[in-house]
Amino acid sequence: MSQLPLEGIRVLDLSRILAGPWAGQYLADLGAEVIKIERAGKGDDARYYGPPYLADESGAPTSENFFHLSCNRGKKSVTVDLASPEGQEIIRTIAKDCDVLIENFKVGDLARYRLDYVSMREVNPRLVYCSLTGFGQTGPYRKRPGYDAVFQGMSGLMSVTGLPDGEPGGGPMKMGPSIADIVTGLNAVIGILAALHHRDRNGGTGQQLDLSLFESMVAALSHYVQIFLTSGVPPFRRGTQGNGGVPSQMFRCADGGIMLTAGNDAQYHRMCTAIGHPEMASDPRFNESLTRIANRVALSAELDAIFMQKSTAHWLALLEAAEVPSGPIYNFKEVFEDPHIVARGLRVEVDHPYNGRTALVGSPLHFSDTPIDRYGAPPLLGQHTDEILARYGFDETRRTELRGKRVI
């Protein structure tokens, strides 16, 4: 097996739930050793989000739930009581040997334990210390708690997601996935890699990264935000319709639905021919991009009536042949049965102590020379405590003593 891109990098992951663990999982995929610190006796809060739970070989549910499995693959779990002086010393000892520390405690919490950035840079000046919080380390909201759904609302995402006001079911809508956590976790990976490059190639030292879910989500709204910054007018909800080329929306067919985007005039004209209505390409209401935008409602109504006449397979075959961007509306079963997803290897299986082999979503990153061709299972709670502590000089007698005190 080839070397992975981040082999030799060691990460101390003190984070919980999703944004921080998501960042740590990406780093683990890339070859970093990620040591996940969990509360002694309890573990990451994410371990309590369920069902569903992973089934063992007999089909009975185990303690491993979907949430933990989704964002902790490839890590090593060590249980430590951060509130105890002995636990704090364990963290400082491991941190001396790490390149990165990830944490998502409330602002000021870790300072009580001398595990904040100011304290830890004295322990290890080369440490890249990544802090993820709801609102960041500064600003009037810095001490507020928050979860993904809060930031979907505050960022403006919900204001542009869902059906328009006045339509049945209209109103702001939360996206299904915890997208603010995911985006912030990816931003953390970008920032960590940039800070490591600065440290190792530009003569720098360690530094703190300050990431907030609120800002990450606003920044991720991209061209939607720019509509407002350019015009002063907030964009409105369009359901499945896009804000670019028209048509760009879901159309219902006789047996399901398709998503279609004709992003320019050439694609639109090819679409008209493919669906058997070439006259729509020369219709003065629809023949150019600007006229289609102005007459979006009328165009959508005509296309709705056309697509309802045939099956999804019928239309998708015609649209693909005409090179018009389109696709089916899948459920997850259909996603992982899709031959392209199968060919790309996005579904992976890892060895797991509870049921032999467990399916996970693999990394979407494909490297020519350092492929991500192996994965570790998400760890059981405290699975690697003895291994890691022994590495750092905590012998069996000392570990037994710490267990007796419930430090580990």
pLDDT single digits (tens) 98-144: 999 999 999 999 999 999 999 999 999 999 999 999 999 999 999 99
- pLDDT score, position 50: 84
Confidence of residue 19 (pLDDT cuts 50, 70, 90): very high
Residue 305 CB-density burial (10 A; 0-12 exposed, 13-18 middle, 19+ buried): exposed
Confidence of residue 242 (pLDDT cuts 50, 70, 90): confident
Whether 245 contacts 289, CB under 8 Å: yes
Of 55-64, 119-128, 138-147, 335-344, the least confident: 55-64
- pLDDT score, position 328: 97
Q: Is the pLDDT of residue 395 over 90?
A: yes
Whether 400 contacts 57, CB under 8 Å: no
Q: Is the pLDDT of residue 46 over 90?
A: yes
Q: What is the pLDDT of residues 172-193, one digit of tens each?
A: 999 999 999 999 999 999 999 9
Q: Is the pLDDT of residue 75 over 90?
A: yes
Q: Is the pLDDT of residue 273 over 80?
A: yes
Confidence of residue 92 (pLDDT cuts 50, 70, 90): very high
Q: Show which residues are catalytic.
A: 181
**Rounded mean pLDDT of 211-233?**
97
**Rounded mean pLDDT of 143-152?**
96
- pLDDT score, position 244: 74
Q: Domains of the chain (ranges plus CATH)? A: 10-220+343-404 (3.40.50.10540), 248-330 (3.30.1540.10)
Q: What is the pLDDT of residues 353-385, one digit of tens each?
A: 998 899 999 999 999 999 999 999 999 999 999
Of 232-241, 301-310, 333-342, the least confident: 232-241
Q: What percent of the chain has pLDDT over 90?
A: 95
The mean predicted confidence, pLDDT, of the chain is 96
Q: What percent of the chain has pLDDT over 70?
A: 100
Confidence of residue 2 (pLDDT cuts 50, 70, 90): confident
- pLDDT score, position 243: 76
Q: Is the pLDDT of residue 231 over 90?
A: yes
- pLDDT score, position 350: 96
- pLDDT score, position 317: 98
- pLDDT score, position 301: 96
